[in-house]
Every structure is written in C-alpha cells, then in structure tokens.
Structure 1
Amino acid sequence: MSGRLIHFNKTRIAPTPSGFLHLGNVLSFTLTTALARLHRAKVLLRIDDIDQTRADEKYIQDIFDTLNFLEIPWDEGPHNAGEFKDSYSQMHRLPLYREVIEQLKDSGLVFACTCSRKQLEKAPCTCFDREIPLDTKEAAWRLHTYKARELSIRSYNDQTVTAVLPADMQNFVIRKKDAFPAYQLTSVIDDLHYGVDLIIRGQDLWSSTLAQHELALALGKSEFQDITFYHHPLLTDELNQKLSKSAGATSVLYLRQSGKTPAQIYTMIANMLGLNMIINNWEQLAEIVLTFYKNNPAPAINGAGLHK
C-alpha cells in the first residue's frame, strides 16, 4: 500500500474442510499471515463447515496438521479439532445466519428456486417469474440481485474498484435446499461478526467478493464496504488448471507422508510460481512473493499465476 502503513484489526484464514489442503491453500495462508504481520493485524482461523455433508472430520484435522507442520501461526480461533467442534463450528452461529435470512425474506428480497443443477447447466433460472411459494419443500432461496448496480470494492492498493455482479452470480443462493445457509451469506456474517477488516483470497473468488458486497447492501450492512480486499494470483498445475483439494501430489498430506520437509514444500510453491530459489519457511516465501507482486504489476483481477 502506498504512503503511511495502515494498521488493520483482523484478517482470517478460512479453509473449507471438503478435502485435503493443497499447495495453493498454503500460498494463500502464508500471504495472509505475512500481510497480517505487516499491518499489525491478528489472524483468525475460521473453518467454514456449514456444509455438513462435506465437512469430514479427517479434513478438519488436516487443517490443524498442515498449519502446525508448516509452522504457520494464527492468533485467534481453535487450536485443535475438538476445540473447533465445541466452540467455533459454524453450527454455533446458525441463529445469526437464520436471523439475516428472515430479514431478507421479510424485505421481499428472496425468491424460491426448484431448479436442479442439470437444469441450470442448460438454461438460466426462471423461478423468480414463477413466484414459487417460499415454503415449497426442497426449494432453495435466491437473493434478487440488481443487474446494473455498481459495487465498490476497497482494494489493497488504496484504490476503489467498481464492478457489477457477473451474469453467473446473478440471483445467487443464500439458503440451500436443505434449509441451511449458503456460503456467500455465512462468509459475510462471519466476517462482520469477528470484526475482520482485511481479506486475502485468490483471484478465483473475485465474483464471490462482488456477491458478498451485493448481499451486504441488501442487508443494510454498509460496514462491509470498509473491508479491504487483496486478491492474489493462483497456483496452477502443468495444464494451467487451478489446484483442487485431493489426496494427490499437490496435497500437503501426500507430500508430508512422502517425507517432504516444510522447506521443500515452500520451495515447490516458489518453483510453481516461476521463482527458482530455495525457500526455508513461510516468512521467506511470503516476502519473496509479495516483493515480486510489488515489482511486477499484478495481472488482471481474473488472471492466472505468476508464471504466465
């Protein structure tokens, strides 16, 4: 950031326990922690387990195993899986989520949707015009969004980026067919609940950032616009595809079980970014990557990795 160094209150590491963490997650965690230290912010570990059908206990344990093995620190949140389940699971915040869902309902800003994934792959949702009753069994609730509304995002470079919600995020789901709140809603409420004012995430979540600003406006929570966002490029594989959670060759679990040291894992990440050097720890990786970003203009918000 230009000029005087700004102090932030809090940022967060927010993995979803739907698979084993991979090298791309590690890059994001290291950048988050480094920027927190730079700006004297605390790091919250927030595990997004609202999708109980995918939040497997072994993936929750993997988050703690990975952070501890790679010696990536955090300041707030659970320190083990048991503490997470007892005090920090999103299930404890269900009343908060349901309260804002009811607020949106009472404001007339949601509509029911019975479309299946296969239907949505073939054609856009038309449920708004069908006026399906909200109490319809196994109907999702979608937020009625504004196609041309400009959204203002506070960027890390001291600029405000304006954009409109992309077509694929119009009328996004805020309550799923199982009546549980959806990711966009829980993320907004959690960030406000914990007082997060700096969010570091991959460029693939740019559309989510826009959706969350749209949702915050609908809820009248203008304070969400005060959050600063930093979108970093992604790690990609040899086919230029972003990494996915799996037990494959880019998962930290696989690498750890194969005998790789933290230094070797950090070096792998640097090499995947086109930075041919040996890295010893997360601080060194973050410093080198952030310096590269500073000295080389960042790619477009939806761009790919550094090696492009």
Structure 2
Amino acid sequence: MDFSLGTPVRPFLRTRIAPTPSGYLHLGNIYSFVLTATLAQRHGARILLRIDDLDRQRAQRAYIQDIFDTLNFLEIPWHEGPRNADEFEREYSQVHRMELYHKALTELREKQALFACDCSRSKIQLADATGAYTGHCRTRGVPFDAPEVSWRLRTDNDAPLTVHTLGEPVVEGLPREQNDFVVRKKDGDPAYQLASVIDDEHFGVDLIVRGMDLWPSTLAQLYLARVLGREKFLETTFYHHPLITGPGGDKLSKSAGATSIQYLRKEGKTRADIYTAIAQNAGITEKVENWLELGTHLLALTR
C-alpha cells in the first residue's frame, strides 16, 4: 500500500481528533493528534475535537477532563468542538446524536441489510480461533427485538472498496475479520463503526487521520457507507500512520500508565520532553520543542 503524501498539497475542509475517554491519553494518542494537526495546517483544514463516549460505562469524567488538560498542556490546537468537559457533556456528547444513529439503523433494516445475532464472544471464538464471525445467525431468523441480541450488517457484496489517500487510491476487499460486523450492540446502542461514519458525515469531515491498526475499520466503514448511500463519506481521504510501540514492540494501550501524559507530567516532564520522547520512538534524534516541529519530522519520514 502506498500511503505517501501526495503533491501538490490539496485543500480539505475539516479533520478531527477523536479520542475515546476509556483511559488517560498516552504517547500513541499524541503521536496521532500531532500528525492530524500538522496535516490540517498543511492542507488548510479546521480541526474538530470529537470525543467518542458511546461506551458510557468506561467514559469516566476524569478521562474526559484529561483530554482537555493534555491538549492544552501540549498546546495542540483545535478549532471546533467543546472547550471543556462541561460543554462537552452539555452539547457534544454522542448521546445528543442518538437520533442520527437510530435513523441510520432504521435505514439499514428497511434495506433488509441486517440480521439479529445472539452469539456470545466465547461461542464465536469456539467457531473460529481467530475470532472472525462465521455467519451462524444469518439464516436463523433471530428476532430483532429479542433480548441480548446484536444487529449485524450482511456483508454479501464482494465488490472492492476504494480508499482515497493522500497518495494513490487503494482498492481492497473487506477483510475476513470484518465479515457481518456489528452495527448495534446487545445493549441497544449503536456500535463504533456506525457511529463513526454518521459522526464524520454529520460534521463534514473530509480528512481522517488514524493508525494502521484501524485499516480494517476504515474498510468496514466504507462498506457501511456504501450500503447507506453516504457518498460524502465514500469520498473522504484517509491517512493511516504507523503506531508507536512499547519496549516489547507491543502497541501502547491506555492501561500502560507509564506512557500516559498524566503520569509523565507528574514525573516533571515538559512539553519538549514528551515530544522528544515520541520523536525518539520514531527514530528522530533531534530534540523537539513543539507539536509542529514533531509533526513536520514525522511526515518527512513518510516520503
């Protein structure tokens, strides 16, 4: 896949920083935010702060506050969206967009594009060691209003999907791990793939920056947008970046407290210290003072 930066620079309207408040932000989150901000400046795009809080059990107030504290401490800019946790809860939480999500789910049911599934994770794992869904409930006729059922999208169309990038478009099929993916969870809430598509279209996002680990999600979201006929999302440009890894080569997670910005700040680390640590992880030897210096270095590595 060619994810190199294209030339000449073309304009975009809007990109977004979209953290999930399920833990304290860590170095990997900041890596992605810095790339987003740098690409936004380069392409003349506005930055939306969109906090994905659909998982209300994990979206703790402390984690939401940490997003604002960290962005402000590191001086990472955003132009649209909430400026503090109270404004977020009052106006921008995903709970305020439930009507949009449920409207999309209704559209999918009317298109007969869904089926209900009562399989547990353990049952799915037993059927396939990789955890990929094998279609057990496709023809069982499980009622949509039965308790403890998820709604899955029928992924029958094997036509390739086109991912627009800053370089050449990439054409791929839906990966096996995304077969019949969930669009409504067992608790009745919309699943991540559906909410992400609806949110990005709602806010007019036309440039999405995310890690390579979300490449399968990008393909799933494009598949969903195709079923829903959401042409604007299908024209969105994606930039997928490599991931920061820990000492053992594993992807950083929010449970890895020593890489959280909150922990590093308590240890007395400055903005420059944090940006330099990210730079060193990416193989950059110079000291880095701010987000734009770091982003410029990181983007240069992709050429």
TM > 0.5: yes
Q: Write the deviation string for residues 119-140 of structure 1: whole angstroms up to 9, x where unpaired.
A: 1111134011212111111100
**2:67 equivalent in structure 1:** 63
CA distance in 2, matches of 1:283, 1:32: 10
Give 1:72's match in structure 2, choosing from 47, 64, 76: 76
Displacement of 1:149: 2.2
**1:25 equivalent in structure 2:** 29
Matches within 5 A, 1:208-227: 208-227=217-236
Give 1:143's match in structure 2, choosing from 122, 146, 153: 153
Displacement of 1:148: 2.2
> Is 2:287 the partner of 1:283?
no
**2:173 equivalent in structure 1:** 164
TM-score (norm 1): 0.93
Give 2:55's match in structure 1, choosing from 48, 51, 54: 51
Matches within 5 A, 1:151-190: 151-157=161-167, 159-190=168-199
Structure 2: state its 5+ residue gaps: 128-133
Displacement of 1:3: 3.8
Q: Write the deviation string for residues 72-128 of structure 1: whole angstroms up to 9, x where unpaired.
A: 010000000000000000000000000010110111110011111111111134011
Q: Write the deviation string for residues 211-236 of structure 1: whole angstroms up to 9, x where unpaired.
A: 00000011011221211000000001
**2:12 equivalent in structure 1:** 8
Secondary structure of 1:128's counterpart equals coil
What is the number of equivalent residue pairs in this alignment? Answer: 293
Root-mean-square deviation (CA, aligned residues, Å) is 1.0
CA distance in 2, matches of 1:164, 1:247: 34
Secondary structure of 2:138's counterpart equals helix
Displacement of 1:156: 1.2
- Whether the 8 Å CA contact 1:49–1:55 is kept in 2: the answer is yes
Give 1:236's match in structure 2, choosing from 245, 251, 256: 245
Secondary structure of 2:91's counterpart equals helix
Matches within 5 A, 1:112-127: 112-123=116-127, 124-127=134-137
One-letter amino acid of the counterpart of residue 278, structure 2: I
CA distance in 2, matches of 1:247, 1:4: 39
Secondary structure of 1:241's counterpart equals coil
**1:108 equivalent in structure 2:** 112
- What is the percent sequence identity of the aligned residues? 53
- Whether the 8 Å CA contact 1:247–1:253 is kept in 2: the answer is no
**1:94 equivalent in structure 2:** 98
CA distance in 2, matches of 1:201, 1:109: 28
Displacement of 1:267: 0.6
CA distance in 2, matches of 1:2, 1:28: 19
Matches within 5 A, 1:29-40: 29-40=33-44
Q: Write the deviation string for residues 2-25 of structure 1: whole angstroms up to 9, x where unpaired.
A: 443211000000000011111000
